[in-house]
Structures are given as C-alpha cells and as structure tokens.
Amino acid sequence: RNEIKKKLIALSAWIRSFLGKEKIEVQGTSRSTSVSTFDEQEELEAMLCPISQEVMEYPVMTPSGHCFDRKSIEDWLARENYCPITREELSIQDLRPCHTLRKAIREYSELLESLKKNQ
C-alpha cells in the first residue's frame, strides 16, 4: 500500500508542477504530502478543470498555458470567445491536446483504484 501511495504522491506532484499548482512552503515548513498524511481529495484538486470542477478526462492547453477539459472549454467557447481565466481572445482552434497530462491523470486514477481495492 505504501508503494502505491508513494507513486500517487509523485504523480500528483508532477501534475501540480505541470499545471503550476505546486504546494507552497509556509514559514520554512514544507506542506508536501507524506505517505501517512495522503489526502485523496486534496491531491485530486490539482486535476480539476477550472470550469467544470471535475477531473479532466481530455485535457487541452490554451496558448497562455492554462489547461481545461476539452468538453468544458469547447462548451464555454460556444458561448464566449475568450479564455475564462485570462480573458484573452480564444478559439477552439487554439487548443492543443495535453497527452502527457492525460496519461498522468489516467495513471493516477488507476493507482488510486488499486489502492482502494487493497484496503
């Protein structure tokens, strides 16, 4: 179980770093997650689409570097013509698939499922 938790934490840290959502250090004390304090909900927050607040299934990236789930941002762009975060002009053609992030989220989900089965 601890090995799975270590892998989950490492994947979550990579995803946070990729998305620019690293955990911060407060007064010299690292708030990084240890195996004993692993919090599934907290770790999943880094993988949520800013629009839907659901784990991204098909992440795409805007030219400004923000990631969204494809369906959520396409629905947004059907009504609006700008990024919901930067307010910069944005079209569906500007979106690029985030294959590495998708793979990391999928692997994280599979490891989490494995951890739950082994409890």
pLDDT tens for each residue of 36-59 = 455 677 777 888 999 999 999 999
3-class SS shares of the chain: helix, strand, coil, % to 5: 50, 15, 35
**What is the model's pLDDT at position 9?**
83
**Interval 59-95: pLDDT, tens:** 999 999 999 999 999 999 999 999 999 999 999 999 9
**What is the model's pLDDT at position 2?**
78
Read off the DSSP letter of residue 82.
B
pLDDT of 98 higher than 90: yes
The pTM of the full predicted model, rounded to 2 decimals, is: 0.76
- What residues form DSSP beta bridges with 91? none
Confidence of residue 27 (pLDDT cuts 50, 70, 90): very low
Residue 119 burial (CB count, 10 A): 5
**What is the model's pLDDT at position 67?**
95
Structural Rg of the chain based on CA atoms: 16
**What is the model's pLDDT at position 112?**
87
Contact 68, 62 (CB under 8 A): yes
Confidence of residue 23 (pLDDT cuts 50, 70, 90): low
Contact 6, 35 (CB under 8 A): yes
Contact 102, 69 (CB under 8 A): no
The residue type at 80 = E
